[in-house]
Structure 1
Amino acid sequence: MKVGLYFGSFNPIHIGHMVIANHLAEYSDLDQVWFVVTPHNPFKKKRSLLDNYQRLEMVYRATKEYTKLKPCDIEFNLPQPNYTINTLVHLEEKYPDNEFSLIMGEDNLKSFHKWKNYELILENHHIYVYPRISENKIETQFHNHKKIHSIDAPIMELSSTLIRNSIKAGKNVRPMLPEFVWEYLDEMNFYK
């Protein structure tokens, strides 16, 4: 089975994440997309993150009615901070019959050369890149690379930061979130 790994803090997961993941599950050669909930990204400050299991619960609620979209907590039991190369090794050991690819935005591809063992990742895995609005140029070494696939997914300029700040300001963000996620955030009074 071909599985696309969509890494993120998903703090919270929103309709932008869902549209991109569903697009890849339906319009690429991937059989499933797994939302890999990251406990701590080495490039992000940790203090604004909800608890790991609360974010996993939101991903579970968002994906429960989609057979091709799954939550994944593989990084919860790996040493911190998490590096993608380590996660890939663990997933390959745990699911030897699956072929894993990465899903990332163009903005992440721009800094991909700074990732730990990025050459090894690229040697062994395909990368599906979805468009983002940005001014920066993609690294020349990644142009026309046989393992990097640009996906013609809808451009979703929606961020978890905007949603958190909007909730704190008392704005209605309900249309930006999957219904089950909205209900959970409202019930738990998160980000207020």
Structure 2
Amino acid sequence: MNLIKVGFMGGTFDPIHYGHLLAAETAREACGLDEVWFIPSFHPPLKDNEPGADGSQRLEMVYRAIDFQPHFRAMDVELERGGTSFSIDSIRSLQAAYPDREFSFIIGSDRVNDLPQWHLIEELAQLVRFIGVERPGEPIDTSLLPSFIANRLTVIEMPLIEISSTDIRRRVSEGRSIRFLVPEKVYSFIKRNRLYES
């Protein structure tokens, strides 16, 4: 049986922006993925601050951002489960629900070095492969990783795009424009719901 190759992108997506979409499309093309699934976290374990938008709002922004792209899907598995969003729990449930899929994690170069700290990382590395998205100026040094991670990691290059959710939230709170940093449907959702305003 030929497995459908799926890239899994987790994160708060608070809000989702063009950098997320570019990373997903770069990984899809470079690694021959059939689909990329965006999975907003309920509460990410390695982040202290609470999301600025609630889970349903963040999921809705993901839906709005990807509605033009047939290879992208939004999944609410972590929001439905609640609690701390451990990737191992998500992969276990997704593999049980979708046995015809082969999953890879798509992660930014800034998070690759955090992989050894992930919950049950040795088991996770046996279940999935990792796709490290390397941005200009942020090289991934696989020699710093344990071999059980490095051997399951594919490093790909992504064009430089300096956009972050933190900066977008700050711009909104300061009354500055975020147009062209996020898809138009996400922009209108943020404006209509007055998200991130101080």
Normalising by structure 1, we get a TM-score of: 0.92
For residue 26 of structure 1, report the CA deviation from its aligned partner: 2.6
Q: CA RMSD in A?
A: 1.9
C-alpha distance in 2 between matches for 1:143 and 1:176: 37
Matches within 5 A, 1:153-164: 153-164=158-169
Higher alpha-carbon deviation: 24-33 or 181-190: 24-33
C-alpha distance in 1 between matches for 2:131 and 2:140: 18
Match of 2:15 in 1: 12
Matches within 5 A, 1:22-41: 22-41=25-44
C-alpha distance in 2 between matches for 1:115 and 1:14: 25
Match of 2:89 in 1: 86
Pairs aligned (count): 192
Match of 2:59 in 1: 56
Q: Cα gap change, 1:143/1:156 in structure 2, threshold over 3 Å: closer, same or farther?
A: farther
Report if aligned partners of 1:34, 1:72 keep a CA contact under 8 Å in 2: yes
Higher alpha-carbon deviation: 115-124 or 40-49: 40-49
Match of 2:171 in 1: 166
Higher alpha-carbon deviation: 51-60 or 15-24: 15-24
Identity %: 31
C-alpha distance in 2 between matches for 1:38 and 1:61: 17
Match status 1:101 vs 2:104:
yes
Match status 1:118 vs 2:121:
yes
Q: Cα gap change, 1:190/1:101 in structure 2, threshold over 3 Å: closer, same or farther?
A: same
Report if aligned partners of 1:131, 1:155 keep a CA contact under 8 Å in 2: no
- Give the unaligned 5+ runs of structure 1: none
C-alpha distance in 2 between matches for 1:136 and 1:68: 27
Kindly provide the amino acid, as one letter, of the partner of residue 61 in structure 2: M
What per-residue deviation string (whole Å, max 9, x for no partner) do you get for residues 86-142 of structure 1?
110000111111111101112211011111111111122110000144488552425
Match of 2:78 in 1: 75
C-alpha distance in 1 between matches for 2:45 and 2:176: 30
Kindly provide the amino acid, as one letter, of the partner of residue 69 in structure 1: F
Report if aligned partners of 2:105, 2:131 keep a CA contact under 8 Å in 1: yes
C-alpha distance in 2 between matches for 1:136 and 1:185: 33
Higher alpha-carbon deviation: 60-69 or 26-35: 26-35
Which of 176, 182, 185 pairs up with 2:187?
Answer: 182
Q: Cα gap change, 1:48/1:102 in structure 2, threshold over 3 Å: closer, same or farther?
A: closer
Match status 1:191 vs 2:196:
yes
